[in-house]
Amino acid sequence: MYGMVNKAIQDLVSTNFGEDKWLAIKEKVGFEDDFFISMQSYPDELTYDLVGAASEVLELEPAAILEAFGEYWILYTAEEGYGEMLALSGSTLAEFLGNLNLLHERITNIMPQLKPPKFSTKEISENQVELTYESDRDGLTSMVVGLLRGLGKRFGKNCEINQTEFRADSGKDVFNVSW
């Protein structure tokens, strides 16, 4: 994944748990560079290792780390140069969710190594959407829950998120999102 993702993990940990925790995590995964380069593509394993090490150092389940990360990603990208892109992706939660593939296409145009997940939406009612998430990557479903929570906050909505289909059963994750 692009370095931007690993940088966001670093930022989340340092801000909320302190620099010493981050250094312990970095040491555990054996990452020896001084920093991540946002626009450089790193092996996915590094990101998974960071989540695993964070889970041990912070004594939190990997799912909790992923969820916190997803929520943080919305704030982080808004502050790291993608605020306008997020703003243009929708002025309501439903609209934003419907534009997720378009948003990723725009980034893929400049960063061809992006491997974006696929989302599709079905409007159930004015305040309820069914969201399908499919990815080449495994194990990141909790991150999507966090992303949805972060988006809910962004739009000032208290979201209820229920997963109704699971990748292990049907090959895709489906969420019912209401607010």
Residue nearest to ligand 1MF (CB): 135
Per rule CB under 6 A, is residue 52 in the interface with ligand 1MF? no
Question: At its nearest, how many Å lie between ligand 1MF and the CB of residue 121?
Answer: 12
Contacts of 51 (CB under 8 A, 6+ apart): 9, 62, 65, 66, 69
Per rule CB under 6 A, is residue 38 in the interface with ligand 1MF? yes
**Based on the number of CB atoms within 10 Å of its own CB, is 67 exposed (0-12), middle (13-18) or buried (19 or more)?**
buried
Judged by CB under 6 A, the residue of 82, 154, 165, 178 near ligand 1MF is: 82
Q: Considering only CA atoms, which of 39, 53, 173 is closest in space to residue 117? A: 173
Per rule CB under 6 A, is residue 121 in the interface with ligand 1MF? no
The dihedral over CA atoms of 66, 51, 46, 170, expressed in degrees to the nearest 10, equals -50
Q: Output DSSP code: residue 113.
A: T
Judged by CB under 6 A, the residue of 116, 127, 130, 155 near ligand 1MF is: 116
Residues that bind ligand 1MF (CB under 6 A): 1-2, 4-5, 38-39, 73, 77, 82, 100, 103, 107, 110-111, 114-117, 135, 137, 140, 143, 147, 151
